[in-house]
Structure 1
């Protein structure tokens, strides 16, 4: 059976099959509901059920609490329905401008940039082009039907290859192959572009870019896209890692800071060891932002990395620094271990 979903306040409508999630149906129909992980972990797709009811598949409690669900809130990425629905959600303009494609790609290089991070470079077919927004991601389609998501680290403005930053997760289905068996010229299939984490170009507000670990990948794409646009908007990048080696493109960030008059870079290391000889900032990366910018009321924030970093940043920036909640854009990197909790 097929059911009708109506989105408030826009009035947009789309059909949803009985075995389909509300988010999947919206993406298929080109309706721009916000989303990130698509698997009940990040909470980006949370909205309200105004009329009707949904059934939720497994999800993380921090993404949708029992109290929120009782109050009518829903995670649309894991919500199905057996009747027509009216939902309330803030739609994302521009999220469906580019077609979602399934494409083959060829591995052209696997460059180790840290003990547990590689830059994977992919060449697309000569007659194909992937259009996407800086910050979006792709999903690799693995042979067993499973999928793994990675953000594009290259800006969407050129005709060159795609680059991805991949951290080794011991025992990880995909990353074990990347680090141990994958070779140049191997073929990988993916689907994309996906996600509503991307640069909003219709604002002139200063931008705070917050990254932890390989959350730097989509942030890098955003910075390079801003450079391509010759945007005058101020950019402040805070990149956090446990050890200095986790800031695997520190030299690139320092070069941006030296060459771009509107760009500042603050590296933050939370667990430096004596032999690191670290002389920079310490502690949690989002706390460094609070120390430097106690008033974020006139800023936009783009945060990407571990869920605990993203969640803490959103809470504290909104509560302590007067950041408008709608100006916090985030992509929480969730692993299979996160989802199993």
Structure 2
């Protein structure tokens, strides 16, 4: 079986080399050799693992064009989770060496404690890993990270952000968009308490960055609220005094979830407030009537602060918020985001 040499160069000019087997994608090959490259969906959907340029022959297979358009492909970009080498490759990335993790990512068995539809399209899932087990994910994770959830038969997998804080009890909590065509979410909806799932992780760099006492503003769309709940919860547990704001974007009132958690966070955090932003206004809505971008622009125009901005949601939301933050003088070092698709 042929093997190809992969030479990966990071943004800060560090070099990593590993081999890739025939009919093996680059992300899987690296992970097999305990090199964990920045990634998320592993299915060519989110665009998180986009390489800036690749030299060498490869095929790009089974991906969502929304994650990588023809104009990007024309410049040499590719999704590493869907990149299958046919020769030795040199890959240039847009992340630093410090963003790469090394070591074995654990896969553990968890018991389902609860599955509940909290809105018509959001599923709340709580699972528990045996607290006396090795590789306790809930204790080793950082607030804001995600895991891959797999059924016991390993027939599919999806990445979901963790909504709770690190703990020694083995508890992991998720808010998951339930899609009618969702390969895994539809199965999770029918999962009963006591059944088992495989959890692999933790992954991700969407975590709190320590930049002194700078204000922290969070922007979420839909279930993009999940990792932000974990971050806010951790701030509350640590008693962090940073001025903190959340802008939570929704289309309709029926999509609102976790309001009681946000209310509790408001009482626990010393300087926290949140806006629930409805893009399709209704007379009965008692919160902000307008898009999350409109609410955010109003806030930017009425402050002299330059907060760190954390964003989680769709590509469209992230690109729009990044452009808006740049407009008000916030450089990309102060913008941290994770794409949900």
* Superposition TM-score tier, normalisation by shorter sequence: 0.7 to 0.9
Asked if residue 186 in structure 1 is aligned to residue 195 in structure 2, the reply is: yes
Aligned counterpart for 2:88 among listed residues 81, 84, 87: 84
Q: CA deviation at 1:306?
A: 3.1
Q: CA deviation at 1:202?
A: 5.9
Q: Which residue is equivalent to 2:292? A: 285
Q: Which residue is equivalent to 1:251? A: 260
Q: Specify the SS of the correspondent of 2:123.
A: strand
Aligned counterpart for 1:127 among listed residues 100, 108, 132: 132
TM-score when normalising by structure 2: 0.85
Contact 2:165 2:231 in 1 (8 A): yes
Q: Structure 1 71/173 Cα, relative in aligned 2: closer, same or farther at 3 Å?
A: closer
Q: Which residue is equivalent to 1:323? A: 330
Q: Distance in 2 between matches of 1:54 and 1:95?
A: 23
- C-alpha offsets along residues 188-229 of structure 1, whole Å, 9 cap, x if unaligned? 122221233233346653322111111111110111122233
Could you tell me which runs of 5 or more consecutive residues in structure 2 were left unpaired when the two chains were aligned.
none
Q: Distance in 1 between matches of 2:103 and 2:114?
A: 27
Q: Which residue is equivalent to 1:148? A: 158
Q: Distance in 2 between matches of 1:50 and 1:215?
A: 31
Could you tell me which runs of 5 or more consecutive residues in structure 1 were left unpaired when the two chains were aligned.
335-341
Contact 1:32 1:93 in 2 (8 A): no
Matches within 5 A, 1:1-341: 1-8=3-10, 9-31=13-35, 33-49=37-53, 51-89=55-93, 90-91=95-96, 93=98, 96=101, 99-128=104-133, 129-130=136-137, 131-142=140-151, 143=153, 145-179=155-189, 181-201=190-210, 204-274=213-283, 277-294=284-301, 298-318=306-326, 320-334=327-341
TM-score when normalising by structure 1: 0.85
Q: CA deviation at 1:160?
A: 4.5
Contact 1:3 1:82 in 2 (8 A): no
Q: CA deviation at 1:324?
A: 2.0
Q: Structure 1 283/216 Cα, relative in aligned 2: closer, same or farther at 3 Å?
A: same
Q: CA deviation at 1:31?
A: 4.3
- C-alpha offsets along residues 126-151 of structure 1, whole Å, 9 cap, x if unaligned? 32211212222222223362112221
What is the aligned residue count? 330
Q: Specify the SS of the correspondent of 1:197.
A: coil
Q: Distance in 1 between matches of 2:79 and 2:305?
A: 28
Q: CA deviation at 1:119?
A: 1.9
Q: Distance in 1 between matches of 2:110 and 2:4?
A: 35
Q: Which residue is equivalent to 1:338? A: none
Q: Distance in 1 between matches of 2:154 and 2:38?
A: 28
Q: CA deviation at 1:158?
A: 4.0
Contact 2:215 2:305 in 1 (8 A): no
- C-alpha offsets along residues 78-112 of structure 1, whole Å, 9 cap, x if unaligned? 22223333322213636526752111111112244
Q: Distance in 2 between matches of 1:135 and 1:17?
A: 33
Contact 1:298 1:323 in 2 (8 A): yes
Q: CA deviation at 1:292?
A: 0.9
Q: CA deviation at 1:152?
A: 0.9
Q: Specify the SS of the correspondent of 2:337.
A: strand
